[in-house]
Amino acid sequence: MDSAESSRNKCAACFKQFNKMEHLVEHMRLTCHSGHEPICGICRKHCKFFDSLREHLVGPLPKAECSEQFLKRGCELCLIFFDSPEEAAAHKRTCQILSDQSSVPSGSRSLINKRIQAEKIGPQTKPNDEIYPVSAVSLDCEMVGGGQDGSFNLCGKVCLVDEEENCLFHTYVKPQIPITDYRFDITGIKPEHLAEAIPVKDVAEEIKKILYNGETVSRVRLVGGKAKLLVGHSLDNDLQCLMLEYPSHLIRDTAKYPPLRKTGKTSHSLKYLTKHLLGYRIQNGQHDPYEDAVAAMRIYKKMRSLVHEQKDGDGIADSDKTNNFASMKQADLEKMTPEALLEISRSDYRCWCCDAQQFPC
């Protein structure tokens, strides 16, 4: 195959080359490249994961030209380029969140500490039926152990924060079955903390009032209504231990979001994501559900604020609808250029930047 043929069958997104055009078409059909993917600011290569882009820029074997430019005018957290080193330096001062900023805000610290010292954290001071003017809520639970070997996860403490990192609800939780391992080294929870804690069923009802925001469950499941987006990390575990269900289209899980996963499509820890996306460390010793909830919210807001190319129908998690290949004949597709194939390709997941259309950053 000559160089012209090889170049013609080169993917315009990830730069893979194929012997036949039909193989490139099949690649585009299955890969679902789109403008929502992390993209190198120099060579414009598309990557499926932020980890892949990081390896491309600063990994063990980075692309030399891109790496050289990235070191001069790139942000190691956002993985984006700026026009000059001065602009990059100015951006980094606001992009990186200092570790002392990850602590509880002064407005909530005294309330939370007071309740912990009293060995019982009650419901938040805001009335339960108040309509909170926020569009997303971050949830995190600290788990204690149940069962004979203490391996069964039970909720011992829960925290909800809004987009401004205000604490909406923070309480110890009394599980439905006896606790056999308080996991004190991680949770900091002692038996006396849960002696008069709120039963898990009552906690679940309080959380529902915040999340559903006065809407009926049936309406929320259909259209969302005024219900809030639920943000968190590995939310399946938290919802299970709280005996809660929530519509999947309203969940934003940092452990499942495709661009944030490892290249092997497994999940990163919240600690890793916070360090590499926000620039500070969490979980240094005992875990704090407020700190973890804030970290998940910051990661979500950072992903939501990304500026991506918007196309009609882009961002909907349905490959038959997001890609236009199914409605076109194979022969017609093979006549198109790689750039034209990329133009009609769509993402196979709903990008969080699409939330900004309904929920402004």
Q: pLDDT tens-digit profile of 246-288?
A: 999 899 999 999 999 998 889 999 999 999 999 999 988 888 9
Cα three-residue angle 351-248-238, rounded to 5 degrees: 110
CA distance 242 to 200: 6
The mean predicted confidence, pLDDT, of the chain is 82
Task: Output the pLDDT for position 98.
Answer: 55
| pLDDT tens sequence across 319-332 | 344 577 888 899 99
181 close to 175: Cβ distance less than 8 angstroms = no
CA distance 22 to 303: 34
Residues in a beta bridge with 161? 138, 167
CA distance 138 to 134: 11
Report, as ranges of residue numbers, the positions in the chain whose pLDDT lies below 70: 1-7, 97-134, 214-225, 310-322, 357-361
CA distance 291 to 107: 15
3-class state of residue 29 by DSSP: helix
Task: Output the pLDDT for position 315.
Answer: 52
- Specify whether 190 is located in the same domain as 245: yes
* Domain at 146, CATH number: 3.30.420.10
- Specify whether 327 is located in the same domain as 295: no
Task: Output the pLDDT for position 277.
Answer: 93
Task: Output the pLDDT for position 139.
Answer: 97
Task: Output the pLDDT for position 322.
Answer: 52
- Specify whether 142 is located in the same domain as 153: yes
Q: At residue 85, what is the residue type?
A: P
Pairing status of strand 136-146 against strand 152-162: antiparallel
- Specify whether 263 is located in the same domain as 290: yes
- Specify whether 312 is located in the same domain as 295: no
3-class state of residue 23 by DSSP: helix
Q: 54 is in which domain, residue-wise?
A: 3-96+306-358
CA distance 119 to 89: 45
- Specify whether 328 is located in the same domain as 179: no
SS3 content of the chain, % helix, strand, coil (to 5): 40, 15, 45
- Specify whether 277 is located in the same domain as 226: yes
- Specify whether 104 is located in the same domain as 130: yes
- Specify whether 87 is located in the same domain as 191: no
Task: Output the pLDDT for position 313.
Answer: 53
Task: Output the pLDDT for position 112.
Answer: 38
Q: At residue 16, what is the residue type?
A: K
For the chain, what is the domain count?
A: 2
